[in-house]
Structure 1
Amino acid sequence: MMSKADYSQPGSTGYEINRDLTWMDPANRPLRVVTIGTGISGILMAYQMQKQCANVEHVLYEKNADVGGTWLENRYPMAGCDVPSHAYTYPFAPNPDWPRYFSYAPDIWGYLDRVCKVFDLRRYMVFHTEVVGCYWNEDRGEWTVRLRQHTGGSEPREFEDHCHVLIHATGVFNNPQWPQIPGLHDRFQGRVIHTARWPDDYQESQWKNDRVAVIGSGASSIQTVPGMQPTAKHLDVFVRTGVWFGVLAGNTGSQTKEYTPTERDEFRRNPAALVAHAKAIEDQVNGTWGAFYTGSKGQAMASAFFRQRTANLIKDEQLREGLDPSFAFGCRRITPGDPYMEAIQKENVNVHFTPVVSCTEKGVVGGDGVECQVDTVVCATGFDASYLPRFPIVGRDGVDLREKWKECPNSYLGLAVPEMPNFFTFIGPTWPIQNGSVIGPLQAVSNYVVQWIQKAQNENLRSWAPRQDRTDQFNDHVQEWVKHTVWKDECRSWYKNNETGRVNAIWPGSSLHYQQVIDQPRYEDFDIRSFHQNPWACLGMGWTTQDRKGPKEADVSPHLGLQEIDPKWYEEVGGNPRILQEQLEGREAAIALHSSKGSKSWSAMAAKWTPVVLLGWALVRFT
């Protein structure tokens, strides 16, 4: 016979309810969040947390002396963004003061600095502090973050921090990749420079008397060469791979365009014009997506157009043939290159279509056996884009992310990783780095992170991590999708593992596609664990924040509103849909439907009933 349950005594079953909990109230649980890096992603995360999260302590650790990430570190000649300035701007902070269509690194850093000052974001940041390791504690549901702070003039201070959520925002353009050339560092007697670590003491006054070798044909080379050519004694440029020189956002002939004071004043006075200009650029950037599918009309048109454009700008047939890519348009990153194409045709520049295979005491030797005597070697060879973190990130059951990603960097939607609980990354593997807008996806990731933080607070979550099977299935889809695109072609690119040919970097869709896919987390893809044995404990005693405040301070009837009225019904009952629309747009008062005798009578009736309603509320609230 079944024993009779006790349905009257609270806690008689051993399960007790926290009477102080309020549904969807951040006050339920404080959280600490650590973000690694204060580049464009870290700054965005600081802003989003400031605006959208309550009861969250957020700290950002930065190894450098200030914000900016790649835009602080990369100061080689003409270093800049290959995305138009107004498309590389936070939506909450459009910038009327961009000096040129493609801005240089100091301009971009100045913009990021200004954003941090306006919103006081540096108060969350700790500089001169590098992360040396991150370790997950399952019992506490926390990350232990080990740090080393360089205070200058003394031994580094090592200490630990703890956080419930760890955000990796170091980016992919911060670990220089040096070419493996025999003799480069131990035999060559001249100066050796990597574009990502350009020394302050090597500027125009120094290189004007130098013979310089520039190694590489990627974005940093394409910017450095025209930056040095006008004043350098001689340049030897070594190109191993052909290049697609692109034109972004209808920018034909305007890669050095500067915005006039009149244009900037108009942007400042007229925010609609500023946004319209940014959208016009962004629309064209996002509109190129169809060109990346093999055999598509867009691919054929783009290939023909840019080949012809390059032919028009490079008159020398040998140069044209050497730079002509043997792979599809888009397989490598498309780069605006008008100044580069002009520079390599000058008398003080020689282009060698061969890799550098060794260095002598006085110069470099190409694959053709020819030695070029030079004073300086500039390695414009990009970054280590393997996605392997530069320090241990050890998650559940001792899994080290560096080992997990050593052979194959599989992420969940480019932002999370199985066995790495409460961990997010910006610009991870399989992220829309070449799929259109970059800022839009960055903002989408930050909003995604905020949603998880709010869920963790409301439901008192211990941990969450994407399931391995769902992650594997996602990556299976990605690799099958790649076979339909230009990225399957054989080309040397940081988008792929150049040994295996596997594409690691590209999202399987457009930039807009990515933003829509991650707009709402797919919680069913996650292993979610609560601190409480009963995951429904978060319901508390049934109070919402609106219930706690009452009708004088909160909307306790949110299901009623102008936005809920169907215009067709409103017209049927004798109303004017135009008036409804005007009120929805805020052109008239939103309290009553229309200022008429009828509405006044309804107001009077509402006033008549209010004391009774409030009395009833008080009885319910304080019982």
Structure 2
Amino acid sequence: MYERMGGVGGTWWTNRYPLTPPSVPVVVYSHSRFPNPNWTETHPSRAEMQQYWQDITEEQNLTSRINLNSNVIRADWDAKRKVYYVTIEGPNGRRVIETNIIVSAAGGLSNPRMIDAKNRSLYKGTLVHAADWPEELTIDSLKGKHVVVVGNGCSGVQIIGELGTHKDINITGVARTKQWFVPSDPLRPYGPQKRHSVPYPAAVRALFKYVPLAQWLNRVIMIRVMDSLFYLYLDKEGAKSRKWVEKRFGNWMLKRLPEEMHKDAIPDHAIGARRLIFEDGYFEALNQPNVKAIRGKVVEFKESSVILDTGDEVKADVVVLATGYDAETKQFEVNGAVDKTSNYRSNAEWQMYHGVSMPGMPNWFAMLGNNTGINHMSILAILEINANYITQLIKNMRDYDVKELAPKKEKAVEYDNWVQKELHRTTWYQTETYWRTGGGKGKIFTHYPGSVAQFQRQNNYPEFEDYEGGEVIVKGRRNRKILRTLLLVGAIVAASYTTAGSQAKDAVVNSVEGVLHKTYEWTLNRIVG
């Protein structure tokens, strides 16, 4: 395994900005095979999340297999040898390795998206992206400074919500987009709960530890409840329920936000058309004298300030870009047997089969590929389904000695057409987001148009008939099924023969001879044909 960062954990290693909890309960944001009864709270800190994955890595003896600080540059397919030559940039320079199969688990959101503003080089302050927060940029180091936070998505809200509690940090939030916010306690919006996460009592942790079934049931129930929320994203079917939620949450937002923000508070799009954002202390921060929000866009940098499209000039010792990720950027170049990634302007143009593989690019499989994302539950559920699907591909390639496997072009196109048709049933086309190509105006290439349960059913087992090279696997599995059937019939016949009388035995023998003869002919035709 090759990891470009300096440690394991993906987003939990990289994202070091203040607060940084998961947006979904940790009971479903952890691996189903590795339950942790010792979580301290429902939405733990980044450090606790990263340590969880570090512990799994060590328990599974994976540490020695992981090459850290190693960035994959490109992969070139050798059609004769059926291998990829993979170029890797590591601590000791560049080298090339050979492999039969590549599994890309580089993540769909790993390239920070910057802003298009003039004169960035003139700025003398500190400019950081939330996804690349330096360790030395501590809360203490920000005291007495003016901090501009650009963006009001999940990371921007969490950063302002945390920094806003420190009255000696002056914060200005700059954002263009109206967002739907979710109360920290959705069932009791006006209740006392100020943060999205609540501590697990010692009694609950003890219950999870000594009665693992209790934590498993908690996980199952949470998954079922959260997965049912996909209904809200269906444009027509979920309209009535959405209206009720929008009215409830809209009234709550107006009561909690500063009065001067009421005019631009309620979005024009349906709730769920963009990612849902838990308020998590954000509104309380906006009501503090050291925090203000401006609806606008940063268009220019000066030495110690930024200029907005509203004409405002805002003092900025530190500018934090909480502007999300560039989901269209290709992680690395792949030159396959027939197709290659450089044939496309971005990965948004790829027509992937089940979000896992590409026609013309054999033995290249992706975790969290195009149209596998979800907006209502833990992405870990999708990753586990992806991993199981890819594992089955690789195991069957090994068992049936298949050297080259790639989806058929027509099957990939057929699947992509189905995905796009279903996506138009959702609310997600109501607004411009990074989920869409062409600057947020084209097709959606990130999300799956259904529930996790539906995704599980579609990806429970690969349809090898849809793969070039899969015919060997199809025939091999069919022959094994025939053999198992013959062995079962033989066992039944043997048992019948043992317990039968002499005349009955003769009848059994004659019957078996006829059955075996017909079975032989049928089997031969199936194997040859």
TM-score when normalising by structure 1: 0.73
Aligned with 2:122: secondary structure?
coil
* Aligned match for 2:294, one of 320, 333, 352: 352
Alignment of 1:2-401 (within 5 A): 60-150=1-91, 156-184=92-120, 186-231=121-166, 232-246=168-182, 252=188, 253=193, 255-295=196-236, 296=238, 297-314=240-257, 316-386=258-328, 388-397=329-338, 399-400=340-341
Alignment of 1:593-608 (within 5 A): none
Alignment of 1:224-623 (within 5 A): 224-231=159-166, 232-246=168-182, 252=188, 253=193, 255-295=196-236, 296=238, 297-314=240-257, 316-386=258-328, 388-397=329-338, 399-400=340-341, 403=344, 405=346, 408-494=349-435, 497-528=438-469
Equivalent-residue separation in structure 2 for 1:249 and 1:441 (angstroms): 26
Contact kept in structure 1, 2:254 and 2:265, CA below 8 Å: no
Question: Bigger CA drift: 130-139 or 428-437?
Answer: 428-437
TM-score when normalising by structure 2: 0.85
**How far did 1:61 drift?**
0.8
Equivalent-residue separation in structure 1 for 2:219 and 2:252 (angstroms): 25
**How far did 1:248 drift?**
8.1
Q: Which runs of 5+ in 2 are unaligned?
A: 493-498, 500-529
Aligned pair count reads 484
Would the alpha carbon gap of residues 539 and 266 (structure 1) be closer, same or farther in structure 2, given more than 3 Å must change?
closer
Aligned with 1:193: secondary structure?
strand
Contact kept in structure 2, 1:250 and 1:284, CA below 8 Å: no
Equivalent-residue separation in structure 2 for 1:111 and 1:519 (angstroms): 27
Contact kept in structure 1, 2:385 and 2:460, CA below 8 Å: yes
Higher helix share: 2
User: In the alignment, residue 283 of structure 1 is paired with which amino acid?
Assistant: R
Equivalent-residue separation in structure 1 for 2:347 and 2:42 (angstroms): 39
Contact kept in structure 1, 2:70 and 2:88, CA below 8 Å: yes
Aligned with 1:463: secondary structure?
coil
Contact kept in structure 2, 1:458 and 1:538, CA below 8 Å: no
Per-residue CA distance 1:162-202 (angstroms, 9 max, x = gap)? 22211000112321111111123x11111111111111111
User: In the alignment, residue 300 of structure 1 is paired with which amino acid?
Assistant: K
**How far did 1:537 drift?**
8.5
Equivalent-residue separation in structure 2 for 1:535 and 1:260 (angstroms): 52
User: In the alignment, residue 223 of structure 1 is paired with which amino acid?
Assistant: Q
Would the alpha carbon gap of residues 494 and 400 (structure 1) be closer, same or farther in structure 2, given more than 3 Å must change?
closer
Root mean square deviation, CA, Å = 2.8
Partner of 1:584: none
Equivalent-residue separation in structure 2 for 1:414 and 1:542 (angstroms): 29
Would the alpha carbon gap of residues 559 and 490 (structure 1) be closer, same or farther in structure 2, given more than 3 Å must change?
farther
**How far did 1:401 drift?**
5.1
Equivalent-residue separation in structure 2 for 1:461 and 1:255 (angstroms): 49
**How far did 1:489 drift?**
0.4
Equivalent-residue separation in structure 1 for 2:482 and 2:234 (angstroms): 52
Would the alpha carbon gap of residues 508 and 105 (structure 1) be closer, same or farther in structure 2, given more than 3 Å must change?
same
User: In the alignment, residue 161 of structure 2 is paired with which amino acid?
Assistant: P
**How far did 1:333 drift?**
0.8
User: In the alignment, residue 265 of structure 1 is paired with which amino acid?
Assistant: A
Equivalent-residue separation in structure 2 for 1:496 and 1:260 (angstroms): 45
Would the alpha carbon gap of residues 243 and 536 (structure 1) be closer, same or farther in structure 2, given more than 3 Å must change?
closer
Equivalent-residue separation in structure 2 for 1:332 and 1:493 (angstroms): 10
**How far did 1:361 drift?**
1.4
